[in-house]
Amino acid sequence: MMKERKLISRKNAIVVLAAALLMTAFLVDAAGTETVRPRIIIQSDGTISPDTAPIQRSGDTYTLTGNVFAEISVQRSNITIDGAGYTLQGTYNGTNESAFIIGEGPDQVSDDVKVPYSIGIDLAFPQVTGLTVKNLNIKNYSIGMYIWTENNKIAGNAIMDTIVGILLSGSNNSITRNYIARNKQGIFFGWNEPGEIPSTIEISHNWFDGNQQHLSGCLCEDYNFTELPHTWDDGKEGNYWADYNGTDIDGDGIGDIPYIIDALNQDRYPLMESPVNPPTVASGFPVAVIAATAILLVLTAAVVLYKKRKTVHNAA
């Protein structure tokens, strides 16, 4: 019976260890290495798949509880994703090799090449609307967010180190108070008909910094000058552009001349100082420390249980 008891104890320990490791499957470890990058789905019924994802649901608010390597697909309307200062991170490493570049057409790679790309947050269906994303750092994706439906709000985030920070093709959307930095394209109006720009779009109080191109609706050699210039401000204040070199003679915090994005796009009221900072996690114990402590406690309990059973058996 001793061999049988040992076998049972080892199985218990393996189950406990597997459960403990599963708790950290979506987390970035202390060295910053990446676990298997899953897709997290917020399903139409409000549930999260897989249910081990480090996202806490409260009604229609979904709050990250740690840094994750994942792509999030949203199937439910009228929800809020609150990053709580944590980071959603992909695997894009900054090179264009074997990557489809938005806006440069379909002839970039041969037909027999499967083009890899990743989207940090994507709306799954055209009827999914009313998404709010806030307090989230998004980095290292082909596309940080693909916002292609209506009535969505992107506010207070940082979108960094992507090919396209925000790919936008839906109307009645607002992009405000975000830090948009080091992307090849900061915001790109994509998949529209030639000359079509989504209507009723608010882009204001963002910080554009170090993007190869901050904002664009095309990579154009020729512009359609029958269009009126598009203005990217709220009518009183615009955005902070790190490469703006205008002056502010009256000291009202707004540049004296517009910021020219390209021949058909301008910010009439560029801000002289950044109105935002990237989101940060609230003070408290780091998630990695909490997870490690939980694993240690579980394993300690398993060892104590094993020794107790062994002692009882020997006494018998």
**Dist. CA 290–CA 73, nearest whole Å:** 27
Give the C-alpha distances (Å, rounded to integers) separating 222 from 108, 192, 194, 195, 263. 20, 17, 12, 11, 10
> Tens digits of per-residue pLDDT, 8-49?
333 333 233 333 333 334 444 333 333 345 799 999 999 999
What local confidence, expressed as pLDDT, does residue 196 receive? 57
What local confidence, expressed as pLDDT, does residue 262 receive? 81
Q: What torsion do the CA atoms of 86, 125, 152, 265 make, to the nearest 10 degrees? A: 100
Domain boundaries, the chain: 1-33+285-316, 35-282
What local confidence, expressed as pLDDT, does residue 230 receive? 74
User: Residue 137 is encoded by which pair of tokens?
Assistant: 């750092």
The helix-helix angle for 287-315 and 2-23 (nearest 10°) equals 170
What local confidence, expressed as pLDDT, does residue 11 receive? 34
Q: What is the 3-state secondary structure (H, E, C) of 200-246?
A: CEEEECCEEECCCEEEECCCCCCCCCCCCCEECCCCCCCCEECCCCC
231 phi/psi in degrees, rounded to 5: -110, 130
Tens of pLDDT along the chain (316 residues) come to 333 323 333 333 323 333 333 333 444 433 333 334 579 999 999 999 999 999 999 999 999 999 999 999 999 999 999 999 999 999 888 765 445 555 454 454 455 545 567 899 999 999 999 999 999 999 999 999 999 999 999 999 999 999 999 999 888 999 999 999 999 999 998 755 555 566 788 999 999 999 999 987 665 566 666 666 778 899 999 999 999 999 999 999 999 999 998 877 899 999 999 999 999 998 754 555 556 666 777 677 666 666 666 565 565 5
